[in-house]
Structure formats: C-alpha cells, structure tokens
Amino acid sequence: MSATKMVSLTIEGRAVSVPEGTTILEAAKAAGVLVPHYCYHPGLPVAGVCRMCLVEVEKFPKLAPSCATAVGEGQVVHVYSEKALEARKGVLELLLINHPLDCPICDQAGECELQDYTFQEGRADSRYREPKRFNPVEDFGGDVLYVTNRCILCTRCVRFMDDVHEAPVLCVSERGDRAVISKAADADLTQPWAANVIDLCPVGALVSKDFLNKARAWELDRTASVCPGCSQGCNAVLETRDNVVMRMKPRPNDEVNHFYLCDVGRLDYHWMNRPDRIESPKIRLADVLSPVDWEIALGQAAEALRGRRAYVVASPHLSNEALFLLKRIVTTTGGEGAFRCATGPEAALPGVEDLALRADRAPNVRGAELLGFTRRDTDLLAGLKPGDALVVAGDLMDGADVRRAADAAAVIVVGSTLPVGLPTPVAVLPIANVAEEEGTFTNLRGRVQRFLQAKAALVWRGRVGTRSPTWPPPPVRRVMTARSRPGRSPRSRRPSRRSRGCPTTRSDCAVRPSPARGWRDDRSGSDAARPRPLAVPHRDGREDAGHLHHLHGRGGLHHARRAEGVRVDSGSPWTESCRSLGTLSGARRRRQELPEGRDDAR
C-alpha cells in the first residue's frame, strides 16, 4: 500500500501539510484558521453556492471558493486579505437584504452562523431601504418548521435528503429573490432521519417544533452523552437548563453516527424529566410504602436478600457499571439475571454505512448479554422460583406478565419510578437515570462508550409519618456572601439571572468547591422536622465510593450550586463500600452544621 502523498502550503502565514486532494477549507481547519462558510458541510457533497468561503490564492487570477478548490504544492492562501474580506462583506449584504430581524425570537440566536459572520465581517449598517420580502411559516411535517424569511438557500437540507437520506422530498423552487425551499406535494419530512435538516441548517430557517421557544442557546449547559433510543449508540449532546433536559442533539463520531441522529432518538428525552420520580428510600409498613432513612431501607433490602436466591430483572437502559453490580448480586446468591427489550422497525440511513435506527430500542442490550443476563422478551419472570428474592432494577414491568411475582418471598425495587403490577416491595431504592449519572454503554458492535452526568441527581430523605416532599424540591432563600461585591452588604445585591440559575464564581453563593455531602436549609425558623435533601457525591473522592454508587447517582458541585440557598460542607462521599451480600449498599449520610456566625462553607 503506497504512502499518502502530502502537499505543503501556507495559509495566513501558517505552514501546513495535508493529504493530496484536500480542499483549501479543510486545510485551513488543520492550520487553525476558520474560513467562513454556509453551504459547505463535511458530511454533504460540495455545492459551492453560497460564495461565502472565497479566499485569495497568490497567482490565481480571481478569488477561489475554498470548499471546492484542492490544495496545491507551495500555495500561499490569504483568508483575511482586503480583497477576500470585501467579497465576503458583499455576500453578507446580499443575504441580509430580505433577512428579517428575528434574532430576539429566533431559536437559532446565539449559535447562528449568520449572526457570527455578520458581526465579524459584515457591514455596520444596511443600505437597503425597500420593504423586505415576506413569506409565511410552512409546516414541513414531522418535527420541522420552515421559516421562509430566514432561509439563505445554502441547500444543505436539499442535499441531505437527496444524497444522504436518499428521499428526494425537498427542492429549490422559483428563481432569484423569490427562490425558496419547497417540499413535494405528496410528502412530508416524516422519514426516520429527516429532522437532521434542523441541525444542518446554519441559520434559523429550519426549526424544531419540540424545542420551539423553549430556551435560549446561551442558557443551556451541554454535556456529552449517548443516545438511549436504540442499540446503535449514537453519540449525542444533552442540553439542560435549571436541571431539566431541554433537548438532545447529535455529537459527531465518524465511527458510530457521523453527524446524525434519528428522530426517535432526538425526541426520546422527555422521560428523563418525569415528575413521578421516587423521591426517597421506602420500606413496606403495614402493606404501605413509607419513606425512611437510607440506612433503614438498605438494611431491609439486605435482610430480604439474606439466605435467598436472587432473581434480578434488569433494564438494558442501565449502564455497564450498574449491570455489573447487579450481576455480582446474582453470582453471590447463585441466582439468575434476565432482561427484556422493546423492539421496533429498523430504519437505515442509506448514505452512511452501518448507521440505522436499530430494532432493539435500548442502548445497552449488548452490554447486558456480555455480562450474562438472559434475554426474555416474552416471559420475563420465567426463571423466578418460589422463595426467590425478586430484584427489579430499572424495568417498569409495563406489559409484562407479573403473576409469577406472587411466588417471590420478597420484592426489592431499584429504580427511578415504581413498576406497575408488582406486590408491595419490601424496599424501594431510588436511582439516577442516564442524564443524572456517569457510566458506559456497549453498542451492538461491542463498542464501549462513555456518557457524562448532565444534571443533578437529588435524593430526598423521608421519615416515617411525614409527607414526602415534592419533586423538584421547593426553592429556598439564597445566602449571599460579603464578598459578592466590594463595599456592599451581603444581601443588598440581587443575583443576576445567570447567577440565580448556576453561579459561575465562588463569591456568588455560599457553596464552596468540595464534594457535596450534606445540604442545610437556610430558611429562617426551625427545620428539624423537615425532610432533608441529599447531595449525591460527584467523581471527586471516588476512591472510597461503594460498588453500588452508580445506582445512586452522583451529584457534583456544579449541580449543587444550581440549587437555591444551600450550603455544602467538605468531606468524603457518603457512599461507602458494600462489603457483603448483607448490605445492598453502604450508603450513609453525614451532615455537619456550620459554626454559628459563619456565612460561608470555607
């Protein structure tokens, strides 16, 4: 196999060597130089219609479109020469002639390339005085709305549907300033991968109905994750605001999903914000589930498991780490583990090799199989024997035949919501979902991929005889420190909108950067009778965390600081090692009150 021939050139004074056949635009990326562009996308065929990527190449008679011009040996390229800047300024002026001033209401505002390049290289004012063209918003079907007035005709959406999805639904109709994107009269964008046109659009012309007017781009926290919609394991980004998942978008990975995410996956996030969460550990008292401390619930679960064979029903939505710990319980008791997986029609993306919405609609089916869990889609409880301890972890049991559960000596639920149809469990242990913890999934090709914690996992401690608090916890008063602003009293400054949501400086709040171990309610009056929230530990200090700490989630400093009026003291995580079968988890809560007169937690 012959070695790849390399070509050397200079871009904006930076020497760079790239493989032969590379475009100037991609070579500029390798050199760390951004060439403004609209129609070009690395996952689509080159069109060269926007003329925004014009650059000056020495000895060339005119400006060259960098997206369609291959590099040459010894080329000297100027991206920001006076000639190139003037040409791009003219292109921007043309695009803005009929573009409305929708930035205050546009969902793309804050991440719009038209905004960025206009601010960077556009004119300071407009010379256009005539009325702008106006067209109504059009529903393209599926999750897509087309705002015609904002369209710059880059044709990314058309090329994606034609060349990648191979469903030629969109086209450019009319000519000149009347040109718009149109769809076929008898078709909508209801194809399984059609909503990718929203991500491909560089402006706010194609917007999501699901995300319409929900949040501004600069309000969102973005976290790398893995789509839980199927066993393909597409890389994704979870975007959250105020501890709520607002949307899911694709994250590029050439080995798995390239730049795309199916419609089923991108809309499968609402369950992460379910309001009917299990808010505290519970045990069965007089056939009624009552909230208790963690130590009591864990002791009850350990007692139910002692001396019995465990039959574990696990969900393929659990991480590899959680499944491994459940498998340890199965192995120790000589029991058995099983799982089931919902299925649906498979839908491939024709233009990308080995990319499809898979039939198995769970992210960790392969991981469960590799860890020794048996797949039972029809009779989930077939392996349950009389006298066994049934452990249901993450499965809602909806649609399953649960009549065999009556043969179990005890039922233990480990999950974020209560399953349906089961006998009253002896213990209920709340856990974090995929957005609230860090872990790994194994996709259908055996690729192990990590996902990160996107929002806080809050577990509230209940007490017998008290009403369990609502989810999410009620806001409490923020305590400002004297260092909030020099020369002003600690509480005279009203926090900004950003600092009210998630402070970015240590002086904005009484929270300090140490592993969260206990929270204190700072509202005036006695709070001895109130249920207290628990902050689940983050990665810091994980060396002494127990082997079930993945099940209980990890809430870090970043998320603890989002809560209103809380204090965090320093120390090691409250989760300790599980030493034997007699304890389902060594979870322990420690809480330290601050010394009298202290206004922070230093």
Q: What is the mean pLDDT of residues 29-57?
A: 95
3-state helix, strand, coil split of the chain in percent (to 5) is 20, 20, 60
At residue 566, does pLDDT exceed 90?
Answer: no
Least confident window among 52-61, 294-303, 578-587: 578-587
Q: Give the per-residue pLDDT at 577.
A: 28
Looking at residue 253, its pLDDT comes to 96
Give pLDDT tens digits for 77-102. Answer: 999 999 999 999 999 999 999 999 99
Residue 448 bridge partners (DSSP): 442
Among the residue ranges 18-27, 224-233, 414-423, 572-581, the one predicted with the least confidence is: 572-581
Least confident stretch, 15-29, 375-389, 454-468: 454-468
512 versus 11: the higher-pLDDT residue is 11
Lowest mean pLDDT among 217-226, 274-283, 503-512: 503-512
Instruction: Read off the pLDDT of each residue in 497-505 and give the average, rounded to a whole number.
Output: 37
Helical H segments across 278-334, by residue range: 294-305, 320-333
Cα 100 versus chain centre, distance: 31
Residue 15's alpha-carbon distances to 5, 75, 414, in angstroms, are 16, 10, 58
Greater confidence (313 vs 573) lies with 313
Q: Write out the DSSP string of 129-149.
A: -SPPP----EEEETTEEE-GG
- The H or E element spanning position 494 is none
Q: What is the mean pLDDT of residues 249-260?
A: 96
Tell me the pLDDT tens digit for each residue of 294-313: 999 999 999 999 999 999 99
Angstrom CA distances, 575 to 2, 197, 536, 598, stand at: 56, 45, 8, 27
pLDDT, one tens digit per residue, over 333-348 is: 999 999 999 999 999 9
pLDDT of residue 500: 37
pLDDT value of residue 3: 79
Most confident of 18-22, 126-130, 510-514, 578-582: 18-22
Specify the pLDDT at position 279.
Answer: 86
Residue 575 has pLDDT above 90, yes or no: no
Confidence of residue 458 (pLDDT cuts 50, 70, 90): low
469: DSSP letter: P
For residue range 99-131, what is the model confidence (pLDDT) as tens digits?
A: 999 999 999 999 999 999 999 999 988 898 899
Which pLDDT score, from 0 to 100, does residue 578 have? Answer: 32
Sketch out the chain's domains with CATH numbers.
6-95 (3.10.20.740), 128-273 (3.30.70.20), 282-451 (3.40.50.740)
276-288: average pLDDT: 91
Of the chain, the percentage scoring pLDDT greater than 70 comes to 76
Average pLDDT, the chain: 80
Question: Predicted confidence band at 451 (pLDDT cuts at 50, 70, 90)?
Answer: very high
Average pLDDT of the residues in 516-534: 34
Residue 291 has pLDDT above 60, yes or no: yes
- Using a 10 angstrom Cβ sphere, with 0-12 exposed, 13-18 middle and 19 or more buried, the burial of residue 471 is middle
Q: Residue type at 275?
A: P
Higher pLDDT, residue 272 or 517: 272
In this predicted structure, the answer to whether residue 536 has a pLDDT above a threshold of 60 is no
Least confident of 161-165, 226-230, 573-577: 573-577
Question: What distance, in Å, lies between the first and last C-alpha atoms of the chain?
Answer: 62
**Among candidates 555, 281, 533, 285, which has minimal Cα distance to 429?**
281
Beta strands per DSSP E along 28-82: 54-57, 64-65, 76-78
The alpha carbon of 166 is separated from its chain's Cα centroid by a whole number of angstroms, namely: 28
* Residue 557 pLDDT exceeds 70: no
The string of pLDDT tens digits covering residues 484-493 is: 334 443 343 4
Residue 405 has pLDDT above 70, yes or no: yes
pTM: 0.76
Q: What is the pLDDT of residue 250?
A: 97
